[in-house]
Amino acid sequence: MSEVSLLGPSGTPYVDLSGQRAWRQYTKGDMVCSLQWLDLQAHDPNFPEDGPIPCMVLFHAFRRLEVGAHVIPQRYAYLYGAREGKPTFHFFRGVCDACETLGFDKNDKAAQHRMLDLVIEAMPDLILMPLEQPPALEIQRHRLGIEVTARNGGKTLHSEVI
């Protein structure tokens, strides 16, 4: 049985959250944190790094179409804590933004506390996450089109997908 996913314009899946794609995964109630590699430049050409990079992906445990996922790239993890280990303003603002992205009310203090706990628990692993994605997790581009084969006397001369 093959895996079904939505493909983007480049022929690769938009995103596949957690499961086999995750390096580590955490759950707090109805929130999930997946540490995995994402190619952010494929979705935002202005992102400075090309290829899959380590990210913390926060999403609702019960997938719904009207909500999204919040991504924290490893390269921006330093914004979430001061040298003394204390959370920064950016950390609290990011948690509130993530809660709204996941479909929670911006004033839902219980959701914010769950999100705070989840991010604090997963942040050390995000920092320690390997920079390079394991080769087994590399997403291959799907080949779409029409296969054309030229044969002469039963022997294949040329074959390609257009």
List, for the chain, all residue ranges whose pLDDT scores fall below the cut of 70: 1-16, 137-147, 161-162
pLDDT of residue 3: 41
Read off the tokens for 60.
């609702």
Residue type at 96?
C
pLDDT of residue 140: 53
pLDDT of residue 40: 86
Q: Report whether 147 contacts 161 (CB < 8 A).
A: yes
Bridge partner residues of 71 (DSSP): 57
Give pTM, 2 decimals.
Answer: 0.74
Buried b (16+ CB within 10 A) or exposed e, 94-105: bbbebbbbbebe
pLDDT of residue 137: 67
